[in-house]
């Protein structure tokens, strides 16, 4: 099985925050899970660097646009190493490779592109026009900012031509949207019949020339969403001299897009329609995570409550951050607080999981067995059932639920050690059960805590279904 796994690409108009690292980490966990299953994976992210928003942000800070964008790109790319993210590609939409792919795609859609005049209200923050009926108070419904009125000549894409086909693909689950509430939401939008053709360019003068120029028309730059969505193809080499990755992972693979709930319409309506026009396969899966509030408040610079990835690293090891974020609900809004983070860190990661691993290695170090037969496991059925429950939740992208179910095994093994006083035992079945439980926990938590689990696994040895007790020492991953 071939899997193409992507995150949305964040705008680089500002520094990374908790929402960005959350999406990166849950997608990374899924990519690592698939690799551990022996499946081929290409995992991609990147930065969205075009659009009027970039120009405005740089101007507000008195900066050169390119220098500002380069600086912010560096901040986002640095998260790869800081949080051990296994990206195979991190694309920039200002790169030449991306531009070539965008032009090829534009040509494939040329029969569905025409010129016209757009008159409406524009939100720079979400780079979208709004009809008066959509924002009667002239305030962006997402960003709560005043809309700007524009009238200009643009290129348009015949979006309406493909809406029925997009609706059918979603209804038949050929494009699966998770959770089902978001599928229903998109189908309702499509059934309302209010969607119009999409303006896919912007006046170059208004955009200060920042963006990808429309082919053979320097008076226009390509609309940032039309160009940004194409990163999913250009990152695989689409439009280059070597399209082998595009052929392997897009055309012959299964696509998984991880995105936030505020950009579902772009991914579930605009994107499939664009692909249908270009006669390219549509994505099979769109996984929509919800939003994070900070101690009951919306994250805001004005409130001074923005949490950056570095804020976490200043207080905790990066694997603690991965652990915490994976244990939060993906398909509902959730609230972050430092108190809650510390409760999960101290109570679950340290007290339950890390302490169990320490206890098991401590018991094995004192055991007189040099080999432990793994077939003598009296919790086999329970371990299998817990693993099955974990797998079922994981396949539904309910990562928090999956890991909460795996904690049943952690607690069960801790209880078993206490109840049977295994540190005093000379019964091989006790040790077989303990080691089987340990190996299952390592299997479950490797996508989440890859560095620590790999360090442990490197020290372990099994042969002919026997665990070789090398009496190793485990160094905890917390400080």
Locate 304 and state its tokens.
Answer: 């001074």
Detail the DSSP E strand segments found in 385-477. Answer: 462-463, 466-468
Mark whether 376 is an active-site residue. no
3-state secondary structure of 13: coil
Catalytic one of 53, 140, 289, 327: 140
At which residue do the structure tokens 């998770």 appear? 178
Would you say the C-alpha torsion 423, 424, 427, 428 has a positive or negative sign?
positive
> Phi and psi of 313, rounded to 5°?
-70, -20
Mark whether 252 is an active-site residue. no
Mark whether 340 is an active-site residue. no
Structural element, H or E, at residue 440: helix 428-445
CA-CA distance, 109 to 133, in Å (whole number)?
A: 29
Mark whether 17 is an active-site residue. yes
Locate 22 and state its tokens.
Answer: 């959350």
Catalytic one of 168, 298, 351, 457: 298
Environment class of residue 192 by beta-carbon count within 10 Å: exposed (0-12), middle (13-18) or buried (19+)?
exposed
Catalytic one of 80, 104, 143, 248: 143
CA-CA distance, 448 to 26, in Å (whole number)?
A: 9
Mark whether 298 is an active-site residue. yes
3-state secondary structure of 88: coil
Mark whether 267 is an active-site residue. no
Give Cα separations from 94 to 50, 69, 212, 301 (angstroms).
Answer: 7, 9, 8, 27
Locate 331 and state its tokens.
Answer: 């398909």
Locate 230 and state its tokens.
Answer: 């194409």
3-state secondary structure of 171: helix
CA-CA distance, 222 to 117, in Å (whole number)?
A: 15
Mark whether 126 is an active-site residue. yes
Q: Which residues pair with 2 in a beta bridge?
A: 40
Pairing of strands 466-468, 371-373: antiparallel
- Number of Cβ within 10 Å of residue 375's Cβ equals 10
Catalytic one of 72, 99, 109, 123: 123
Catalytic one of 61, 119, 279, 301: 301
Catalytic one of 34, 53, 72, 126: 126
Let me know: does 437 contact 409? Beta carbons within 8 Å: yes
CA-CA distance, 68 to 66, in Å (whole number)?
A: 5
Helices (H) and strands (E) in the chain, counts: 20, 19
> Phi and psi of 179, rounded to 5°?
-80, 175
Locate 412 and state its tokens.
Answer: 């069960």
**Cβ neighbours of residue 319 closer than 8 Å, sequence gap 6 or more:** 84, 448, 449, 451, 452, 477
At which residue do the structure tokens 């499509």 appear? 190
Let me know: does 43 contact 28? Beta carbons within 8 Å: yes
Mark whether 109 is an active-site residue. no
Catalytic positions: 17, 20, 123, 126, 140, 143, 298, 301
């Amino acid at each position: 099985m071939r899997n193409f796994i992507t995150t949305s690409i964040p705008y680089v108009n500002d520094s990374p925050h908790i929402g960005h690292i959350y999406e990166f980490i849950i997608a990374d966990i899924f990519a690592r899970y698939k690799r551990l299953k022996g499946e081929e994976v290409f995992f991609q992210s990147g930065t969205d660097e075009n659009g009027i928003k970039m120009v405005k942000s740089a101007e507000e800070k008195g900066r050169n646009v390119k220098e500002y964008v380069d600086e912010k790109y560096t901040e986002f790319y640095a998260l790869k190493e800081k949080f051990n993210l296994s990206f195979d590609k991190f694309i920039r939409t200002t790169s030449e490779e991306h531009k070539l792919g965008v032009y090829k795609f534009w040509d494939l859609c040329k029969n569905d592109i025409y010129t016209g005049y757009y008159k409406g209200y524009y939100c720079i923050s979400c780079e979208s026009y709004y009809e008066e009926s959509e924002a009667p108070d002239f305030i962006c419904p997402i960003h709560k900012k005043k809309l700007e009125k524009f009238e200009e000549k643009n290129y348009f894409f015949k979006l309406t031509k493909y809406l029925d086909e997009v609706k059918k693909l979603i209804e038949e689950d050929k494009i699966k949207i998770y959770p089902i509430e978001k599928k229903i939401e998109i189908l309702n939008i499509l059934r309302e019949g209010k969607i119009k053709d999409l303006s896919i360019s912007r006046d170059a003068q208004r955009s200060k020339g920042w963006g990808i120029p429309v082919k053979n028309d320097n008076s226009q730059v390509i609309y940032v969403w039309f160009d940004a969505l194409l990163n999913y193809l250009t990152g695989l080499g689409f439009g280059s001299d070597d399209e082998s990755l595009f052929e392997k992972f897009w055309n012959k693979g299964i696509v998984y897009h991880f995105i936030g709930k505020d950009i579902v319409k772009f991914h579930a309506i605009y994107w499939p329609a664009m692909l249908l026009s270009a006669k390219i396969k549509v994505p099979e899966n769109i996984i929509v995570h919800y939003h994070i509030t900070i101690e009951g408040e919306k994250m805001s610079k004005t409130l001074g409550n923005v949490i950056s990835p570095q804020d976490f690293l200043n207080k905790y090891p990066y694997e603690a951050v991965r652990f915490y974020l994976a244990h939060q609900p993906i398909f509902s809004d959730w609230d972050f607080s430092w108190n809650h983070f510390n409760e999960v860190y101290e109570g679950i990661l340290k007290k339950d999981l890390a302490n169990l691993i320490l206890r098991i290695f401590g018991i094995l170090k004192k055991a007189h067995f040099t080999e432990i037969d793994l077939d003598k496991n009296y919790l086999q059925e329970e371990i299998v059932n817990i693993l099955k429950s974990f797998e079922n939740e994981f396949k539904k992208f309910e990562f928090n639920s999956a890991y909460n179910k795996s904690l049943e095994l952690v607690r069960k093994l801790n209880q078993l050690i206490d109840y049977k006083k295994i540190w005093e035992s000379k019964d091989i079945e006790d040790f077989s059960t303990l080691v089987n439980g340990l190996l299952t926990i390592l299997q479950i938590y490797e996508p989440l805590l890859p560095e620590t689990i790999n360090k442990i696994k490197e020290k372990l040895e099994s042969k002919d279904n026997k665990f070789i007790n090398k009496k190793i020492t485990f160094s905890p991953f917390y400080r």
